[in-house]
Structure 1
Amino acid sequence: MSHTLDVLQSLASSALQQGRGIGTAGHARQPAEPLELYDMEGCPFCRLVREALTDLDLDALIFPCPKDGDRYRPLVERLGGKQQFPYLMDPNTGAALYESADIIEYLYQEYGGRPAPKRWLVRSIRTAASVAASLPRARRGIYRDDSELPEQPLELYSFEASPFARLVRERLTELQIPYLLRQCGRDQWQDWVLPPVRKQLVPDYSPSQRNRVELMERAGSIAVPYLVDPNTGAEMFESAAILDYLEQTYAR
């Protein structure tokens, strides 16, 4: 019942995002090395950046920085001078930025080859919607829990507004476990159909978004979240199974 309630709350958060963080409009170019984003899953300003990453179809190496976090928060202060989030580092250009609005404008100009869409420019409306999206999940994805640090970052196939992937990203944040966020934003109408229904309606479905293509080749089907742990060789679908795995493997 607890997991069911979590899913319902996460669905409410997705609805309050007003359609952002689901589809991808693509990019002009991909960074050669993954972007590095220091953030908290439950932070509304961090959410705005992750929504833009989904829209631009950009992967990012996420370094979770929950409140009281002792792994990456001090590092951000050393790098940028203050513990403020989100904080983006781009190893491809050397850019390092605080402030969600500045990061979003940078991403669209540098990798989208275009200005940020007008809907991103109305900052007060955009921020209010993101703050509202944080409310159903309250304190989740904000505060630290003790954990073992894996030797290598995990990999998570996700898109920002997925209510099921959000539950996994929250726990990864709380456990301060770094992970490579592999974008799986929807870029064709067939992607919007639930997998069981899609199998019946579109038996010859073929994904076109790059990480969806990779996921189909890797796992034989497409659903998010999908977790890959290079430290143990474990790979799995289903948020409940992934959460249980994280508890058993990394939580203290």
Structure 2
Amino acid sequence: MLVLYDIEACPYCRLVREVLCELDLDAVIYPCPVGGMRFRPDALDISGVSQFPLLLDPNTGDQILESADIIDHLYKHYGNARRHSPRGLRRKLAVTGSMAASAARSVGGVRGLKAVPSYAAKQPLELFSFESSPYSRPVRELLTELEIPYILRNFAKSRWQEMGPPLVRSRWFPDAPITSPNRQRLRELTGRSQVPYLIDPNTGVSMFESVDIMAYLKDVYGRK
């Protein structure tokens, strides 16, 4: 599985996560918020610089900094090799759009950027999510702030029938085939196609609903 040293609020990290989602690729996420000491030192040892995102690909042996280079690598090895990260003006526009996504949620401070006191998780958690989900994003932000590693199970929508809330899909398109492996897996596990869905192997807890997940993470891993 791919490994990504990541900061949820970082616009360059977001561009990489978007492509991971687009290509339906899972990854182990090691959150490296500002002020964090759990995984940032490891990233520094690996790359020699405190810069994110940092991708480790055990399938090719590559260690890659720079979001554009990471995206090119992902397309080359896991997608359409003719596609590349945008450059020049298109690159600037992509970064600006990515920054705006964080700015829109920065009332009271940028979320998913700075570390908060927390207890370490012995094993990575597992999160079914997709990058643009407004319900998944707050969970990823909190996981970053708490420096909790997790396996990101990307859950991108691959058919137009999958658009909209679960109630609409189940009512109007109950027989639409599920083409995403993670959508199939979650349906087998829970009978539902809904994100976010968190699995914590450390406690045996599994749960839907972002508000409940965040309350759980604060209660179990947050230092009072």
TM-score band w.r.t. shorter chain: over 0.9
Paired position in structure 2 for 1:152: 123
Secondary structure of the corresponding residue to residue 115 of structure 2: coil
Matched, 1:94 2:61: yes
Counterpart CA distance in 1 for 2:104 and 2:8 is: 13
1:148-195 CA distance string (max 9 Å, x none): 111110000011110110000000000000000001001111211310
* Preserved CA contact (<8 Å) 2:71 2:84: no
1:187-227 CA distance string (max 9 Å, x none): 11121131012222123344211000000000111101000
**Structure 1 range deviating more: 143-152 or 174-183:** 143-152
2:92 to 121, 124, 134: 124
TM-score, length-scaled by structure 2:
0.94
Paired position in structure 2 for 1:182: 153
2:113 to 142, 148, 151: 142
Gaps spanning 5+ residues in structure 2: where?
A: none
Gaps spanning 5+ residues in structure 1: where?
A: 1-33
Counterpart CA distance in 2 for 1:195 and 1:128 is: 31
Counterpart CA distance in 2 for 1:239 and 1:206 is: 26
Q: Runs of 4+ in structure 1 displaced over 3 angstroms?
A: none
TM-score, length-scaled by structure 1:
0.84
* Preserved CA contact (<8 Å) 2:2 2:56: yes
* Preserved CA contact (<8 Å) 1:67 1:142: yes
The percentage of counterpart residues that share the same residue type is 50
Paired position in structure 1 for 2:198: 227
Over aligned residues, Cα RMSD in angstroms? 1.2
1:88-124 CA distance string (max 9 Å, x none): 1111111001110010001100111423257x34211
2:81 to 109, 114, 127: 114
Counterpart CA distance in 2 for 1:205 and 1:233 is: 32
1:120-152 CA distance string (max 9 Å, x none): 342111111111111012210000011111111
Secondary structure of the corresponding residue to residue 137 of structure 1: coil
Amino acid at match of 1:127: V
Amino acid at match of 1:214: R
Secondary structure of the corresponding residue to residue 29 of structure 2: strand
Structure with a larger share of its residues in helix: 1
How many pairs were matched up?
Answer: 218
